[in-house]
Amino acid sequence: MVSCNGECYYQAELTRLKGELLFTQSVNRDVSRASTSRQCAVKAEPPSTFADAEHCFLQSIQIAQRQTANSLELRAVMSLARLYQRQSKQQEAKSLLAQIYGKFTEGFRHSGLA
């Protein structure tokens, strides 16, 4: 739809949602495989599935940055951070979140009224 009519406003969000679907699909496969094999541990999905989701999230972040759409960028960063947490990459997730946090300043300034 985005490429057909030239509308680009929701391109970042659509790309993020594609990544979310890939990520959710891989997580569901992990749980399904673990329950059918009667194992307690959840096995990791092959790296290519997570890599596809990561690629979508990174692409979404880039699109949102080009459009200066901070809220859409935040959503994509949150999705990527969840994926990194799933992969035990907590430091990378924390770094991403710290970078985007600085873009949101509204409501942080003290008004002097008390």
41: phi then psi, degrees, rounded to nearest 5: -80, 145
Each residue's pLDDT tens digit, 60-82:
999 999 999 999 999 999 999 99
* Amino acid, res. 79: S
Residue ranges and CATH numbers for the domains of the chain are 8-101 (1.25.40)
Q: Give the pLDDT band of residue 109 (cuts 50, 70, 90).
A: low
Average pLDDT of the residues in 80-109? 90
pLDDT in tens, 35-53: 555 554 445 545 578 899 9
Q: Could you tell me which residues come within 8 angstroms of residue 94 by beta carbon, excluding any fewer than 6 positions away? A: 81
- Where do runs of H (alpha helix) occur along the chain? 2-5, 11-36, 47-66, 70-86, 90-101
Percent of the chain residues topping a pLDDT of 90? 57
pLDDT the model gives residue 75 = 97
- Is the confidence at residue 56, as pLDDT, over 50? yes
Tell which wins on pLDDT, 32 or 26: 26
Report which of 68, 71, 70, 89 is spatially closest to residue 80, judged by C-alpha positions.
Answer: 89
pTM: 0.74
Q: Is 31 within 8 Å of 39 (Cβ atoms)?
A: no
